[in-house]
Amino acid sequence: MIYLDNGATSFPKPLSVRQNVDISLKKFSANPGRSGHSLSLRAAKEIFECRKRLKELFNANSEEEIIFTENCTMALNTVIFGLLSEGDHVLISSMEHNSVTRPLESIKDKGVTYSAFDYSYDDNETVDNVRNLIKPETKLVICTHASNVFGFRFPIERICALCHAYGILFCVDSAQSAGVFDIDVGTNQYDFVCMSGHKSLYGPMGTGVLILNNRNLKPLLYGGTGTESIKKSQPEGLPEKFESGTQNMNGISGLKAGVDFVKNRGIKNIYNHEYKLAKRLFNGLANNRKVITYNKSFDYGKVAPVVSFNIDGVYSEDLVAKLNKYGIMTRGGLHCSPLAHTTMNTIENGTVRVVPGAFNTINDINYLLNVIRKLTN
């Protein structure tokens, strides 16, 4: 089996991640922060240690600004529903995921509007595209760091600076980039950074993170926090304000090990490895006249290790099924990003997406290319 669907979730997980989940289940799987006994305190310590590691990896301002969610979708929903109100305008990129567009669509009837700015391979043009769509009522810009379909990398540092110059808040969707590209929250002062725990941070599914630089949000969920229980209203302190209900302590324990794996291996080293594999695949596909690729080029640092392609005349999901028969796991269709596919004129057929991970090898890519050659002969 060759697993190349790491854009959906990373697999396999590092051994340390599996061990951490197992140990936490066996030895201290108590409710964190709800009791004063030793197991509860040990579970709470495990969660704090994961916050601490995430703060260090992303240079966040403090541990309390690291909010655990179920996934990146929940983090994005927290920002969108917690911030926006009637009359607000939002700018998003033309590559955004349904985790952004569907929440925004759901509040259009409440007087919230949004527009999409185009991606350009020229960063200056991308920044100008944002600037040209800013309105007096623009309150928030949401931008993916890297397209989950085509890998295009957005200049989020420059877009954030532009937003702040206009007094606009900036939210990064780093589902496809956290653990692959450096994200420096403290230096760039991103207002909100949303990320998956189970993709390039190598944690278990059911883990996500919201890093807050701006606290002026309403919570998405209200309820038990284990603190200030006598109050009828939600606590204002962080992280409790945004973490109602029992936390996924076992998943967070696994995420802690995943963050350690990324830190020990090095984000740059991980990117270099995955980029080498993606570049090899892109070049091999581009040389096959029956294969359609969608990146004009695949330059180092300009793209995440994500390759989308089609075979002319073959429906993308049919091709995924054929590859599966050869033991190759990929993903076809629209990848929950119809806006990106509409932008790239692939909405009718979708694409086959390949995303290598830390455990893939050049032999995996060569085998895939050989199978593609066989299918196109």
Please report the pLDDT score of residue 228 as a whole number.
84
What H or E segment, with its residue span, contains residue 226? none
Q: Which residues contact 248 (CB under 8 A, 6 or more apart)?
A: 68, 70, 206, 207
Average pLDDT (201-220) is 95
Question: Nearest Cα to 4, choosing from 343, 309, 314?
Answer: 309
Average pLDDT (349-376) is 98
CA distance 158 to 111: 29
The structural domains of the chain, ordered by start, are 15-265 (3.40.640.10), 266-376 (3.90.1150.10)
Average pLDDT (234-245) is 93
Mean pLDDT of the chain: 97
Give whole-number Cα distances, 182 to 50, 67, 76, 156, 186, in Å.
18, 19, 20, 11, 12
Is a pLDDT exceeding 90 seen at residue 225? Answer: no
Compute and round to an integer the Cα radius of gyration of the chain.
21
Tens of pLDDT, residues 266-298? 999 999 999 999 999 999 999 999 999 999 999
Is a pLDDT exceeding 90 seen at residue 190? Answer: yes
Average pLDDT (307-314) is 97
Q: How sure is the predictor about 215, in pLDDT bands with cuts at 50, 70 and 90? A: confident
Distance of CA 364 to the CA centre of its chain: 24
HSE toward the beta carbon, residue 266, CA cutoff 13 A: 4
Average pLDDT (9-23) is 98
Average pLDDT (168-191) is 98
Q: How sure is the predictor about 35, in pLDDT bands with cuts at 50, 70 and 90? A: confident
Tens of pLDDT, residues 352-365? 999 999 999 999 99
What H or E segment, with its residue span, contains residue 346? none
